[in-house]
Every structure is written in structure tokens, then in C-alpha cells.
């Protein structure tokens, strides 16, 4: 995983990542308002065009696979008419779970950018490392920690409110 240093924060590419993560946070907020765990995902092609924008839909669709990342990969594949997403970047506010990490690897995603580590089910770097494991047939570039504080705060506030 790439570490976000002070010098990196002012780099134009980092600023672009922050802008996309703000879009993800808005999608996540809408999911949370609808009773879903607040996770949003955006897929952007290599020209900077949005090809998928979704949020979690597990509860609404009554589908255990309706994670934002899975839905985003499906939508991107349909838009591009190709399951190879090697020219795309996926933005998501929470580190993907094992199911989503596996799908991301299978899609041959070009870059994964996420906000905050998931200490319970994170399968990119935190609990497991599916992209770098022996079972992975694709080397995934990963950038974590984009708007980390805002991502963490949104998730913690949603879970705290649900516990009341």
C-alpha cells in the first residue's frame, strides 16, 4: 500500500483522489440514511469519467452480495461491456471485505483507493491481504487513507446511532 505523506497531500493526483472520495462519502451518507451500512463506491475510467456510482444495498435488496464494491464492479463491466477493469480506479470509503477483495482482483482493477482500514473484515491490508496472496492472479495497486478521518467519523457515527 502507498503511504500518504505530507508531500503527497499537495500532489495533483492526491487532490483528485480526495475529490472522488468526497463523492463516495455522499453516496455512503445516502446509504446510511436508507438504513444501510454507509459505504459508497465510484468507478472512474482512465479518462476520469465516472462509469459507476453506487452504495450498499444489502438491506434494501435483501442480497448478501449487494456490497457497494460488487455493485460498482457489475455496473462498470456493463458500461464498458468488458469485465476487465484494468484501466479503472475504484474509490470506496471502507477497506473491502474478503468477498469484495476477491471480486476486485478478479476484475483486474487498475487501482483501488479507499478511505479507512476495516479492523474487523478488511481484506486488502488490515486483517487479510487477498491482493498479495498466493491465490491472487492479479497484482493490485492500492492507495489507502484518503480522507481517512472523514470516512472513519462517518462510519463510527452511523454505528453509534444504530446502537442507541
Selecting among 36, 53, 69, 95, the annotated active-site residue is 69
Q: Counting Cβ atoms within 10 Å, is residue 79 exposed (0-12), middle (13-18) or buried (19+)?
A: middle
Question: Which value, to the nearest 10 degrees, does the dihedral of the CA atoms of residues 152, 115, 23, 4 take?
Answer: 120
Residue 155 near residue 38 (C-beta atoms within 8 A): yes
**69 is annotated as an active-site residue:** yes
Residues labelled catalytic = 69
Amino acid at each position: 500500500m502507498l503511504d500518504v505523506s505530507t508531500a503527497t497531500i499537495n500532489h495533483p493526483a492526491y487532490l483528485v483522489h480526495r475529490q472522488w472520495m468526497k463523492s463516495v462519502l455522499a453516496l455512503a451518507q445516502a446509504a446510511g440514511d436508507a438504513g444501510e451500512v454507509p459505504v459508497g463506491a465510484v468507478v472512474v475510467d482512465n479518462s476520469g469519467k465516472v462509469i459507476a456510482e453506487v452504495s450498499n444495498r444489502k438491506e434494501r435488496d435483501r442480497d448478501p452480495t449487494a456490497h457497494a464494491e460488487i455493485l460498482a464492479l457489475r455496473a462498470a463491466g456493463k458500461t464498458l461491456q468488458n469485465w476487465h477493469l484494468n484501466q479503472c480506479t475504484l474509490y470506496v470509503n471502507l477497506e473491502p471485505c474478503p468477498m469484495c477483495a476477491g471480486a476486485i482482483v478478479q476484475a483486474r482493477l487498475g487501482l483501488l483507493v479507499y478511505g479507512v482500514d476495516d479492523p474487523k473484515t478488511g481484506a486488502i491490508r488490515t486483517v487479510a491481504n487477498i491482493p498479495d496472496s498466493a491465490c491472487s492472479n492479479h497484482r493490485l495497486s492500492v492507495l489507502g487513507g484518503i480522507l481517512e478521518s472523514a470516512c472513519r467519523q462517518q462510519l463510527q457515527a452511523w454505528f453509534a446511532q444504530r446502537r442507541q
